[in-house]
Amino acid sequence: MNILVTGASKGIGKIIAQELQSLGNVFVTGRNENALQAFDNYFVCDLAKNINPLLEYIKINKIDVLINNAGEYIYKNLEDMEQKDIERLYQTNLISPAILSSAVIPYMKEKSWGRIINIGSISGVMGEAYASIYSSSKSGLIGLTKALALELAQYNITVNTINPGWVETELGINSIEDSEFTKEEVLNCIPQKRFVKPEEIARLCKYLISDDAKGITGQAINLCAGLSVGI
């Protein structure tokens, strides 16, 4: 099994890559070469700038499990965002996952087996004020997941999205600091009164890859400590 995890230099992606090493060959990509060197197989790439070299890397290594984890977040009024930032977020969060999925599908069809797992966000389910581009990009990822799952179901290829809520990572903590809320206020809005741990997301990825999950496809799974249900 050849697994590619994007955005694996830190946070959720790094933990996912570590968790999946027992399943086969794990290939990772990200922007920080020093951080990626913790893995045997890595490829330095900025998905918002030039994705083409990574597509060649995928062809060579015949990826049959794709984890689209890389993502960017900006907390700002839409009218105050620069066009380059809007384009970068959509490119990283939605366009690149679509392009990478397109690249791995031929080999998955040839093998009659494959797994595509997109790491979305609860913000793509519920919407988040002052994060409209992030929210809409993650919402688009859910739509991509549902449609692509239908296209690929007959080939024994599953496509799913995991939507984390607030996660205990550097990005999660930084996004709180960038917002108008305190950590305590955020925790108070979460029914379980805790942040999701990246290990929970990694283990869910591992399950979705397994044969036990072969009937799960086209789903948007909210792993959010109850945040999507209400307060």
The residues assigned a catalytic role are 134
Half-sphere exposure for 154 (CA within 13 Å, toward CB): 1
Backbone angles phi, psi at 107, to 5 degrees: -70, -40
Nearest to 161 by CA among 150, 173, 172, 146: 146
**Cα–Cα distance for residue pair 13/5, rounded to 1 Å:** 7
Q: How many other CB atoms are found less than 10 A from the CB of residue 91?
A: 18
Backbone angles phi, psi at 104, to 5 degrees: -90, -20
Radius of gyration of the chain (CA): 17
- Of the chain, the end-to-end C-alpha distance in Å amounts to 41
What are the C-alpha distances in Å from 178 to residues 59, 73, 84, 191, 224? 39, 10, 20, 22, 20
Backbone angles phi, psi at 169, to 5 degrees: -135, 175
